[in-house]
Chains A and B, each alone.
Chain A
Amino acid sequence: MIASMLLLTGCATPKLSNADKLIKRHPKGFADAVRASTESAEFVRDTLKTLADVEAMVEKGD
């Protein structure tokens, strides 16, 4: 199942999951940032997406 998802998404970063490590490490910080404003929520989303992109590059060995 995961393999088919990887094909669908390019890569879903199943090995290096630093995004949810960060969220687990800073639960209140994450919750506050998501709820504080539209801009802070957009920033968090963009940061997580960027992190996922970088993780994918690392996994591919780029």
Chain B
Amino acid sequence: MNATGTRGELLVAEKLIKLGFHVSIPLDETQFDLICTLKEKSHRIQVKCTGGIEKAKRPNSNPRYNFNLSRGNSRKISYTHADCDFIICLAMDSSRYWIIPVEEIDIKILKIPANGSSKYCKYEYRWDLIS
């Protein structure tokens, strides 16, 4: 795991614990980073993070957060329910979180406009989905 990924994973763990979740770290190599449990309901969490906003290449386009939602080095594979239950995306510069059910994700690069709308904006701060 790269340094940004490690830090993002820990920041998400910290946030979940503050929200009252019990957080476990898987022992073996898995496709998820954390297990969070609340009231005997558990979910496998894959964490994706970005350092900050990327400026749009095209003029008049919104700056956005980009998250790589695939795994694998040479052949990029999308996450499925076999890998995890939720993907939590974290923008580290602004502490913004998107809690997205894995089955809702049908793309490999998630681009969320910083000040705009996208299909995935509705998942921002949706901690209730894993409660």
- Which of B7, B14, B41 contacts A1, CB < 8 Å? B41
Which residues in chain A, 6-48, are within 8 Å of chain B measured between CB atoms? 8-14, 17, 19-20, 23-24, 27, 30-31, 34-35, 38, 41-42, 44-45, 48
Of B11, B13, B17, B37, the contact of A2 (CB 8 Å cutoff): B37
Determine whether the beta carbon of A17 is less than 8 Å from that of B27.
Answer: no
Q: Which residue of A lies closest to B3 (CB)?
A: A38
B17 to chain A minimum Cβ distance, whole angstroms, is 5
Give the number of residue pairs across the A-B interface with Cβ within 8 Å.
Answer: 78
Q: A23-B14, A38-B3, A42-B3 are in contact. Are A5 and B27 (CB under 8 A)?
A: no
Q: Interface of chain A, helix or strand or loop or mixed?
A: helix
Other-chain residue from A19, A31, A38 in contact with B25 (beta carbon distance below 8 A) = A19
**CA gap between A50 and B99 in the complex, in Å:** 27
- Number of B interface residues at 8 Å Cβ cutoff, please give it: 25
Contact check, A24 vs B17: say whether CB atoms are below 8 A apart: yes
Cα–Cα distance between A23 and B36 once the two chains are bound (Å): 14
Q: Which of A27, A34, A38 has the most CB of B within 10 A?
A: A34
B13 touches A23 (CB 8 A): yes
**Contact A34 B27, CB 8 Å, known A9-B35, A24-B17:** no
Q: List B contacts of A23 (CB < 8 A).
A: 13-14, 17
Given contacts A10-B26, A14-B37, A20-B22, 8 further A-B contacts (CB under 8 A): A5-B35, A8-B30, A8-B44, A13-B27, A34-B7, A41-B3, A42-B3, A48-B10
* Chain B residues near A (Cβ < 8 Å): 1, 3, 6-7, 9-11, 13-14, 17-18, 22-28, 30, 35, 37, 40-42, 44
Using a CB–CB distance below 8 Å, which chain A residues touch chain B? Answer: 1-2, 5, 8-14, 17, 19-20, 23-24, 27, 30-31, 34-35, 38, 41-42, 44-45, 48-49, 52-53, 56
